[in-house]
Amino acid sequence: MSDRIQKILSRHGIASRRGAEQIIQAGRVKINGIIVTELGTKADPNCDRIEVDGKLLHMQAPEFVYLLINKPVGVVSTCDDPQGRTTVLDVLPSAYQHLYPVGRLDYNSSGALILTNDGEFANYLMHPRHHVTKTYSVWVRNIPSPNILHQWRSGIILDGKMTLPATVNILQVDQSRSQPRTQLEIILSEGRNRQIRRMAEQLGHPVLSLHRLAIASIPLGDLKSGTYRPLCDREITQLYPAHNRDRD
């Protein structure tokens, strides 16, 4: 059965749907010996010879893997880094080097990050329309006023666009140091680049540390820094309702 080539690559764990589109546009895909760069080109993986970077796509889709990792500070959430920094794949055993992160958590942040080779799953979680929530514990400088908290909850302008409403609660205030600091619980339903850090800076309370506690209903729990565990079927289905159903 013919399907769009980016969907085929995604289902075979080559990359997320968006990543597969970039691979196609870069001229790295051949169908029956012909390079294809047009998105939406269709192929039948059971009949057509599909190659990525010269390697034949196996007709049998690989077994999908879903891992939750507690990313340490000082690790980049990419598969490779031009600057030679430690990546999340460096934290994992060799058996998991074919996985890729779902979304990002910046270099100076820690906490929950999912890695998989299931492109459809990754594409679903990263698509803005699904508003997958993420919960953070964030220490900020000084003590935000009620007005600042209201702005944070209601949304502010970033890059010319209003941020979505967020949950922002004070967990504790530490005044034992020369400069006070406040621990906040922040729940976002969108994932703009470095959103919490940029909002905090704009509101006058720079982030001192940022730790992601949960992705949707999946908590990090007592998973230690740099360690990981597989997601169970129930958790995968909670994140991606189409799991265990026939995919369209």
**What residues does 56 pair with on adjacent strands?**
51
The secondary structure element, H or E, covering residue 179 is: none
Measured between alpha carbons, how far is residue 247 from residues 3, 7, 121, 197 in Å?
12, 11, 11, 37
Give the separation between CA 218 and CA 127, rounded to whole angstroms: 18
Q: What is the 3-state secondary structure (H, E, C) of 94-162?
A: HHHCCCEECCCCCCCCEEEEEEECCHHHHHHHHCHHHCCCEEEEEEEECCCCHHHHHHHHHCCEECCEE
For β-strands 34-36 and 29-31, DSSP reports them as antiparallel
Using the structure block, give the residue that is written with the tokens 């964030």: 138
Which residues are designated catalytic? 106
Give the separation between CA 245 and CA 222, rounded to whole angstroms: 31
**Are the beta carbons of 30 and 53 closer than 8 angstroms?**
no
In the chain, count H helices and then E strands.
7, 17
The distance from CA 94 to its chain's CA centroid, rounded to whole angstroms, is 21
The closest alpha carbon to 134, from 155, 150, 114, belongs to 114
